[in-house]
Amino acid sequence: MRILVISDLPQFVTGGAEKQAANLIEEWLNAGHTVSCFGRRMGRGPVQLGPHQIPVHRIHVVQGFGRALRGLSYLCSLAWLLLRYRRRFDVIYTRFLGEAALTASLLKKLRLLNAKLVSTPANTGGQGSDMQFLASLPGRRQIIQLLDTQCDAINLIAPAMADELRLAGFSGRNFAHIPNGVSIREMPASTAIRPHHSLAVGRVARQKGYDILIDALARLDNQPPRGLVRIAGDGPEWDALQIRAKSLGVDHAVDWLGELDHAGVLREMEQAKIFLLPSRYEGMSNAGLEAMERGLAMLVSRCGGLDTYIEPNMGWIVEPADTAGLATAMQSALDASAETIADMGSRNRTFALQQFSLKQVASRYLALFESLIAATPDRRPT
């Protein structure tokens, strides 16, 4: 099978969606398929992914002259690439339900492109989400109708996305439900012997709810112990949150680790007992999946992603932006025995192996692609 992925890659952009795209590409290559990649922030030469080199092409965008010209230049550049190389792919996979999916849908509508189109929204429900982007465009209803009719499948990585897309006007006829995947590694050490209590991983920005976390620390029954929470990440709220923690008298309870590479994040996970994800909105957190795979108990907000899988014997769930609820859950986690937390972590590890294995997820995508191609065997790229 010949697969075109339209997404930037981690070599050029650090983000969960880009990392997930790169992981899937590597698995598809391992399975013997041909993969190429178009992206807005690509370099000139091929990109190394594990043992593989994949050809990449840059989508050129005019910057500095307003949103309309930027969008038009993106559409024209991507359309030219799609038409130029259309004989080289059977399936187009876009890692966002945005400009790339819209451009490919338009070409399919005009009968200039025959490849199957599969799009995966990265997140919904918040600032910068795919639905917010679509809602900001002129002719929103017509655009959603175009995407709904021309996308052969819209894959929802988080269960709650279905209701939001239907509310926006999508029919749901072509929804698929394949979650993000995580690499399965050797069994980690039990949380019972790990030195650190809680770890949060993610950009230090409003979405991640670290301000709520700091306020919750100030509401605990007793003064929180030193280094109770370790936060790995950097971002625009770094300074303000440290000031906030100091003003509330809980600055000693937070260790700010800054931006870590992937190996550093995994090391932190293997030293922690509980993973914190107090986000205001979220898609399907890659860091959260890796925390489950590393055997951590989970304390997450109800954003319609990971929380839909967490049972009471796997962790705690709180409402987004609920300071009191988060404080209560954190107090419960502090009061829980080492055996209870270790048991939660073990259940999460088992669940990740059963449901989120990257190999399994990549295979489910391939099965989806193959089923779409088989449905119209006479239609091939022209």
233-257 pLDDT, tens digit per residue, is 999 999 999 999 999 999 999 999 9
Tell whether 267 and 367 lie within a shared domain: no
CA–CA distance, 226 with 204 (Å, rounded to integer): 20
Range(s) of the domain holding residue 15: 2-181+358-375
Q: Indicate the pLDDT class of residue 127, thresholds 50, 70 and 90.
A: low
**What pLDDT score does 282 carry?**
85
pLDDT exceeding 90 applies to what percent of the chain?
A: 77
**What pLDDT score does 29 carry?**
96
Between 79 and 17, where is the model more confident? 79
What is the mean predicted confidence (pLDDT) over 341-370?
96
> For the chain, where are the E strands, in sequence order?
2-6, 34-39, 47-49, 52-54, 56-58, 91-94, 116-119, 153-155, 175-176, 196-201, 229-232, 254-258, 272-277, 297-301, 315-318
User: Taking all residues of the chain, what is their mean pLDDT, rounded to a whole number?
Assistant: 92
List the beta bridge partners of residue 2: 34
Between 134 and 53, where is the model more confident? 53
What is the mean predicted confidence (pLDDT) over 272-296?
94
* pLDDT tops 80 at residue 125: no
Between 50 and 144, where is the model more confident? 144
Comparing CA positions, the residue from 244, 232, 243 lying closest to residue 277 is: 232
The tally of domains found in the chain comes to: 2
Tell whether 306 and 335 lie within a shared domain: yes
Tell whether 154 and 12 lie within a shared domain: yes
63 inside domain: yes
Phi and psi dihedrals of 18, rounded to 5?
-70, -40
Between 380 and 207, where is the model more confident? 207
71 inside domain: yes
Quote the distance between the C-alpha of residue 256 and its chain's center.
Answer: 23
**What pLDDT score does 12 carry?**
74
* pLDDT tops 80 at residue 376: no
Q: What is the dihedral of CA 211, 316, 276, 267, to 10 degrees?
A: 170
Tell whether 322 and 341 lie within a shared domain: yes
**What pLDDT score does 14 carry?**
66
Q: Which two tokens stand for residue 308?
A: 């839909």
CA–CA distance, 231 with 223 (Å, rounded to integer): 19
Q: Which amino acid is at 84?
A: R
330 inside domain: yes
Comparing CA positions, the residue from 157, 202, 197, 203 lying closest to residue 176 is: 157
Q: Indicate the pLDDT class of residue 378, thresholds 50, 70 and 90.
A: low
**What pLDDT score does 381 carry?**
40
Instruction: Give the pTM.
Output: 0.88
What is the mean predicted confidence (pLDDT) over 335-354?
96
3-state secondary structure at position 255: strand
Q: Which amino acid is at 274?
A: I
Tell whether 143 and 199 lie within a shared domain: no
What is the mean predicted confidence (pLDDT) over 303-328?
95
Q: H or E stretch including 141?
A: helix 140-150
Q: Are 254 and 217 spatial neighbours (Cβ–Cβ below 8 Å)?
A: yes
Q: H or E stretch including 105?
A: helix 99-109
Tell whether 139 and 69 lie within a shared domain: yes
DSSP 172: -
Q: Give every strand in the sheet of 56-58, ordered side by side.
A: 56-58, 34-39, 2-6, 91-94, 116-119, 153-155, 175-176
List the beta bridge partners of residue 316: 299
* pLDDT tops 90 at residue 382: no
186 inside domain: no
| Range of weakest confidence among 9-18, 86-95, 151-160, 278-287 | 9-18
Q: Which amino acid is at 202?
A: G
3-state secondary structure at position 196: strand
What is the mean predicted confidence (pLDDT) over 226-237?
96
**What pLDDT score does 222 carry?**
93
pLDDT tens for 169-218 read 999 999 999 999 999 999 999 998 999 999 999 999 999 999 999 999 99
pLDDT tens for 39-88 read 998 877 888 888 999 999 999 988 877 778 888 999 999 999 999 999 99
Tell whether 364 and 308 lie within a shared domain: no
Q: How many CB atoms lie within 10 A of CB 127?
A: 11
Tell whether 18 and 53 lie within a shared domain: yes
pLDDT exceeding 70 applies to what percent of the chain?
A: 96
317 inside domain: yes
Q: Indicate the pLDDT class of residue 292, thresholds 50, 70 and 90.
A: very high
Tell whether 154 and 227 lie within a shared domain: no
Q: Are 265 and 190 spatial neighbours (Cβ–Cβ below 8 Å)?
A: no
* pLDDT tops 60 at residue 315: yes
CA–CA distance, 257 with 33 (Å, rounded to integer): 39
Q: Given the structure tokens 């993973």, which residue do they identify?
A: 275
**What pLDDT score does 338 carry?**
94
* pLDDT tops 80 at residue 124: no
**What pLDDT score does 45 carry?**
82
CATH number of the domain within which 247 lies: 3.40.50.2000
Comparing CA positions, the residue from 376, 350, 33, 357 lying closest to residue 178 is: 357
Residues 6+ apart with CB under 8 A from 16: 122, 180, 283, 285, 286, 287
Tell whether 143 and 154 lie within a shared domain: yes
Q: Are 238 and 315 spatial neighbours (Cβ–Cβ below 8 Å)?
A: no
CA–CA distance, 102 with 260 (Å, rounded to integer): 34
120 inside domain: yes
Give Cα separations from 229 to 65, 232, 334 (angstroms): 44, 10, 11
